[in-house]
Amino acid sequence: MRTLHLPIPPAPSRLKTRLRLARRLVSFAVVFAGLPSLTHAEDGERLAGQLCAACHGVHGHSESPIFPRLSAQTPEYLTAQLKGFRDHARGETDARSYMWAIASQLDDATIASLADYYAHQEPVHGTPGDAALLAKGQDLFEHGAPDRGTPACASCHGEQGQGNGTFPRLAGQHHEYLQRQIEVFSNGTRANAPVMTAIAHSLDADEAKAVAAWLESR
Ligand code: HEC
Ligand code: HEC
């Protein structure tokens, strides 16, 4: 008799994340299939509730680290990213899989309305974690690493990571998402932001982890 080789089941926490993701994707498919092709400007708040909330959460307060939080993000950055997905300028794997098709349906007026909606939602404030890790992250954020020429993150992203124009808000964001972005800037798959590519490249894994943890705790 032949032995059946079953794949090793994923660890419970990963399985839970996958199930949650699968459920979201199903609800997303249902919502997306039910939408007429968006050939005219849509009201941002309505579209956010009907479509974006399935992944990014109600008011942009996403719970899963796969999906970035959008609440209180700067309108300039939101607009630039949605256009970047639409033009295929922002092309890391998750952006391609999730955002390219959606952004292709959005005209400029709809993008402006969505950006305005999310910019006006209350920010999420994370919970503090390991004090030593957070202190290391805060130091890097506020002072950079002068010996390597890494500038202070605060000089662009704002004193508290609140963002400023085209420099995105980072405060309150899922640390897993932040770390993933540092990684895709560094390995060149999110290639349309040369400033961040160079900065991300200068960070080691421990620094990326520390600064992401500090930012989420804001
Ligand atoms: C099926 C899930 C899904 C839906 C629905 C969805 N998104 Fe996304 N979105 C993602 C994922 C995943 C990412 C992160 C991509 C990455 O990690 O590179 C993302 C990224 C983004 C970003 C970039 C955020 C940042 O901090 O850089 C913006 C802006 C965004 N989405 C807006 C929207 C808007 C507006 C809608 C509704 C019109 C929407 N998304 C619908 C999954 C989704
Ligand atoms: C010279 C200005 C500048 C400095 C300094 C800077 N950044 Fe950025 N950062 C940017 C810009 C601009 C973007 C948006 C890139 C884009 O449009 O895709 C960005 C994007 C990001 C993102 C992606 C956010 C998202 O929602 O997807 C992360 C994470 C990030 N920066 C982390 C850092 C960290 C950590 C530091 C300090 C070590 C830092 N940045 C220093 C300009 C800067």
Cβ of residue 54 lying under 6 Å from some atom of ligand 1: yes
Between vectors from CA 37 to CA 31 and to CA 43, what angle results, nearest 5°? 75
DSSP β-bridge partners for residue 145: 150
Q: Can you give the pLDDT at residue 29?
A: 56
Q: Can you give the pLDDT at residue 8?
A: 38
Q: How far is the CA of 24 from the centre of ligand 1 (A)?
A: 13
**159, pLDDT greater than 50:** yes
**Chain Cα centroid distance, residue 159:** 20
Q: Which atom of ligand 1 is nearest to the CA of 90?
A: 18
Indicate the domain borders of the chain: 21-119, 131-216
Q: Can you give the pLDDT at residue 25?
A: 60
Token digits of residue 143: 């002072």
**38, pLDDT greater than 60:** no
Q: What sections of 152-202 are H helices per DSSP? A: 154-157, 175-186, 194-201
- Identify the CATH assignment for 131-216 out of 3.30.260.10, 2.130.10.10, 1.10.760.10, 3.40.50.10860: 1.10.760.10
Give 20 or 144, the one with higher predicted confidence. 144
Read off the pLDDT of residues 78-130 as tens digits, 9 standing for 90 and up: 999 999 999 999 999 999 999 999 999 999 999 999 999 999 999 998 888 89
Q: Residue 167: what are its φ and ψ, rounded to 5°? A: -85, 115
**CATH number for the domain formed by residue range(s) 21-119:** 1.10.760.10
Read off the pLDDT of residues 163-212 as tens digits, 9 standing for 90 and up: 999 999 999 999 999 999 999 999 999 998 999 999 999 999 999 999 99
Cβ of residue 103 lying under 6 Å from some atom of ligand 1: no
Residues 6 or more apart in contact with residue 52 via CB below 8 angstroms:
60, 70, 114
Q: Which residue has its alpha carbon closest to ligand 2 atom 1?
A: 156
| Angstrom distances, CA of residue 163 to CA of 2, 76, 80 | 60, 10, 14
What integer best gives the mean pLDDT of the chain? 88
The C-alpha atoms of residue 40 and residue 107 are separated, in whole angstroms, by 7
* Least confident residue range of 3-17, 55-69, 166-180: 3-17
The C-alpha atoms of residue 207 and residue 189 are separated, in whole angstroms, by 20
Q: What is the pTM of this model?
A: 0.88
With beta carbons less than 8 A apart as the criterion, state whether 184 and 132 touch: no
The C-alpha atoms of residue 144 and residue 137 are separated, in whole angstroms, by 10
Cβ of residue 202 lying under 6 Å from some atom of ligand 2: no
Question: Collapsing DSSP states into helix, strand and coil, what is residue 145?
Answer: strand
Q: What is the arithmetic mean of pLDDT over 47-70?
A: 97
